[in-house]
């Protein structure tokens, strides 16, 4: 049996970078939420994360900021690093400031918040990357339209 790929412009127009990005995000979320398991190229087991069906900003995201971003005076107080304060009282409004790019619900993996946490060259927090489950949780929150819940 052979499968013929339709390469017509009409078909190819349906496959956009946005579609591919969303497919990639879906696969990542399935892997990290326990749908599948796998091992990395180094043979290390990839953690299986038990992500909630609905990610809550207050219950799930704020505790990550408190534990990893507000320590040592980084993203806290009157003069936060990068002018981004992640204190509980102002974190949501800071992240969703118009034009900031911290949260991009149309292209979640391009959100500055998420991209900076998975960066290889300058990861946040500078003390070391968050674990895979924490970054998957943040990505899932953004994919779910980054609600203030």
Give the domain ranges of the chain: 57-143
The whole-number average pLDDT for the span 25-46 is 47
Q: Is the pLDDT of residue 102 over 90?
A: yes
Map residue 115 onto helix, strand or coil.
helix
pLDDT of residue 7: 43
Token representation of residue 55: 């990610």
How confident is the model at residue 25, as a pLDDT?
A: 56
More reliable by pLDDT, 124 or 3: 124
Backbone angle region of 20, left / alpha / beta, with phi > 0 → left and psi within -120 to 50 → alpha: alpha
What pLDDT score does 107 carry?
A: 96
User: In the prediction, which pLDDT does 126 show?
Assistant: 87
**Closest Cα partner for 114 from 16, 7, 21?**
21
Whole-prediction pTM: 0.69
The DSSP symbol for 89 reads T
Assess whether pLDDT exceeds 60 at residue 42: no
Per-residue H/E/C for 2-56: CCCCCCCHHHHHHCCHHHHHHHHHHHHHHHHCCCCCCECCCCCECCCCCCCCCCC
Q: Please name which of 34, 49, 33, 57 lies closest in space to residue 144, comparing C-alpha atoms.
A: 57
């Amino acid at each position: 049996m052979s499968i013929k790929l339709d390469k017509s412009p009409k078909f190819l127009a349906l496959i956009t970078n946005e579609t591919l990005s969303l497919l990639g995000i879906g696969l990542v979320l399935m892997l990290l939420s326990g749908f599948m398991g796998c091992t990395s190229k180094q043979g290390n087991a990839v953690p299986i994360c038990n992500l909630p069906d609905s990610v809550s900003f207050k219950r799930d995201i704020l505790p990550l900021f408190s534990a990893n971003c507000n320590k040592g005076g980084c993203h806290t107080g009157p003069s936060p690093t990068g002018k981004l304060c992640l204190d509980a009282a102002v974190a949501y409004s800071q992240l969703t400031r118009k034009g900031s790019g911290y949260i991009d619900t149309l292209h979640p993996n391009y959100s500055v918040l998420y991209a900076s946490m998975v960066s290889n060259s300058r990861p946040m927090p500078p003390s070391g990357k968050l674990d895979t489950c924490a970054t998957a949780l943040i990505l899932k929150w953004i994919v779910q339209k980054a609600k203030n819940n």
